[in-house]
Chains A and B, each alone.
Chain A
């Protein structure tokens, strides 16, 4: 059974700092991995999607990497801003029969202090 872990559960940084959020998974047979952002009381907003054949994806100040062999993905946020404060979740689809299912981590609550 695929398990997704995000450490730390919470992170607080000063504005302007570059930071890395971590996501680890137990089964490397994945189809794709998606990073989401969730603001309090809101839905999930898709940030980046990495297909199994890809190593990384970039969007603006965000860069997500995928290393299937080590069972890890990272989300790099450059020059963090207070508006980046939110919960960040990673989710992945495993290869195989039920590959429509996303397995979610519990998320990392990021606070960027002005």
Chain B
């Protein structure tokens, strides 16, 4: 299995630009998570999907952040407009069965730098 695939691996953009991060979960996994990692705050859950439906988006910091999962094999996290404080590593993770029982598998992450 190829694992969780994220793109781009690195993104450098200027403040105010739109950023779209992409994720392909492991085939057969029906739970998908977006996390953000910073030195100050560690790993934070942004949003959780189960069977393509957003279950918990309470971790999404502001209305500038949005996430979609149009099908079982693809998800996007969009930031519009981006700000320097959004600079972080964004991870996508997937899990089999229900999200509360399965082991979590992470992608390699997308490192975002907003200038």
Does A associate with B in a complex? yes
Chain A positions near chain B (C-beta within 8 angstroms): 31-32, 34, 36, 41-46, 49, 89, 91, 93, 98-102, 104-107
Total residue contacts A-B, CB cutoff 8 A: 49
Cβ of A36: which chain B residues have Cβ within 8 Å of it? 106
A42 to B110, CA, bound (A): 10
Partner of B108, one of A42, A101, A104: A42
A44 to B98, CA, bound (A): 20
Chain B positions near chain A (C-beta within 8 angstroms): 4, 31, 42-43, 45, 48, 50, 55-56, 91, 93, 98-101, 103-109, 111
Partner of B99, one of A43, A100, A106: A100
- Contact yes or no, B91 A43, CB < 8 A: yes
- Contact yes or no, B42 A106, CB < 8 A: yes
